[in-house]
Structure 1
């Protein structure tokens, strides 16, 4: 075969380019993450701007918000099957396969953002991590606070204790746990779609609804109600999780870095949520609503007694409520 000068130079250049091309020293571990919330929510910003940067170049964090990768409620199974590496889920999603988690969504069990961090910074949190690992094959990295639910209602009836909510038609999401949550604070819960709530308050089909303050503003519920009672009866939070197979493949140092990065990110987002909540109290007052705090201790005692007398507490680990209350 005749090799021309042009062919020789072309082949030489190609060979040289193969040798000279930089070869990556490693392939970054892909971490696909799914959540139902928007990309601009504080907890989302914390993951993208803090967590992803803290874990370093060894990991390629790929976030999918607004349920664009998996539908709400399917994320846990996706992680277990290896189709997703990370997700942010409420305790109710964990409870579908590990009923012990039900206690974390009950009224007045988690008291506020600080109490949430205390729970997962204690041996109680370690027990829940162990349950998640053994039953669900996932690792809980850190909790992420995103708001306290309060009662928002029509009329001038002052609500200071659970008995004052007797007969009040309170919109709650469907499902036994949500309906019991409404009952546990003394109200008459009505199952209703979120999108129907504004009109139902307007027409008098319901008397009240409960949501975190940012949701109240977003949905303009202040236009059709008179007061907000700062019951704080339920703390909204998610648990950042990673599939056990992925987590267990990391070195102990890398595992700790993951936990530390998550805690750092959520410390920032928690402060943002708390700042929003404080500012919104002033906003609603400017809109003419009466905003006040009831006898929270009375509500807590009533609610916990309701749960302990119901079948919903059957799955709670023995003595867990007393241990959480003592923190």
Structure 2
């Protein structure tokens, strides 16, 4: 053996010994390098169900694929600001987040059908639509146009109307003249007008005082939000119009998903389904308990002719510019999904 060959052999042996020593001293760091990194960014606060669901996602993956994934959960929009997640995922700077139909519709205009009133009729209908052929088609379009793949559908709540003074509300005409606070975007204001009210833009933080002073006559939100913001203190009625079934979608960067093995992809999808199922079950349970809570607070809780509202609102949308980007026959297919 020549001197140079002996020297290279000794160096290689020494390097192998150093590497082996590092693996023995720092096994966790070595193992982490081989794990699939999944960073989660969400604006959700810790106590909310759609924040807690990410722990379910992480635990589910740890059980089905122990040691394969490094799931890092970032709440309170600490990693990416709300609304910027889709771009971050498309660029490969973020693996997972939950995105809204409004976020998606900016780049996939036909998805705006899910921001319209009375298209989705309830939590069960929501799951059937998105877990069936319609969901598969729409999610495929999202993946193709956004480089983001939706994995499961998360129920956020059903929006109801909350009035300052009691009123007999059966059909949209009964809301004529009501100054109904809505979020300030044109899409939200259009929905308020479609419901028969006078849509009035107002920041969420000003709604309580607006109801108290009479600047507005009512507001719309899911029941958990009504309780959290204590709107029941300054209103006397809740009308269960159920005009918008709100949802978000657990989504993954297509780049990250495509880098996984088929088995890993299935395990990630199953974990996302488990996470959304956990959220949906608990949120529905909470909503179910709130009607009694509001009655105990002295509020009237009434149910209008929801079919009359649905027909009126859908007709208003179908005659608008919003419906022009909806695929032909899609609304009918959604309505027919049972």
SS in 2 for 1:236: strand
Q: How far off is 1:17 after superposition?
A: 3.7
Please name the residue that 1:200 is paired with: 210
1:51 counterpart = 2:57: yes
1:72 counterpart = 2:82: yes
SS in 2 for 1:88: strand
Counterpart of 1:112 (choices 104, 122, 125) is: 122
TM-score by length of 2: 0.89
Please name the residue that 2:40 is paired with: 33
Matches within 5 A, 1:51-200: 51-56=57-62, 57-200=67-210
Per-residue CA distance 1:58-98 (angstroms, 9 max, x = gap)? 11111222212211211111111222111101100001111
1:292 counterpart = 2:302: yes
CA distance in 1, matches of 2:255, 2:173: 49
Counterpart of 1:255 (choices 237, 252, 265) is: 265
Please name the residue that 1:225 is paired with: 235
Q: How far off is 1:22 after superposition?
A: 6.3
Q: How far off is 1:217 after superposition?
A: 0.7
CA distance in 2, matches of 1:146, 1:308: 25
> Structure 1 residue runs of 4+, over 2 Å off?
14-26
Q: How far off is 1:156 after superposition?
A: 2.1
Q: How far off is 1:248 after superposition?
A: 1.0
CA distance in 1, matches of 2:322, 2:22: 65
Q: How far off is 1:20 after superposition?
A: 4.5
Q: How far off is 1:249 after superposition?
A: 1.4
Unaligned 5+ segments in structure 1 are 1-10
Per-residue CA distance 1:215-272 (angstroms, 9 max, x = gap)? 1011110111100001110111101111111111122222122121111222121111
1:273 counterpart = 2:283: yes
Query: Are 2:166 and 2:300, in contact at CA under 8 Å, matched by a contact in 1?
Result: no
Residue-pair matches, total: 314
**Alignment CA distance shift 1:21-1:316 (3 Å):** same
RMSD: 1.6
SS in 2 for 1:157: coil
Counterpart of 2:220 (choices 204, 210, 213) is: 210
| Stretch moving more, 120-129 or 19-28 | 19-28
Per-residue CA distance 1:78-120 (angstroms, 9 max, x = gap)? 1112221111011000011111110011101111111111011
SS in 2 for 1:314: helix
Per-residue CA distance 1:129-182 (angstroms, 9 max, x = gap)? 110111001111000001100000021211111111111100000111111111
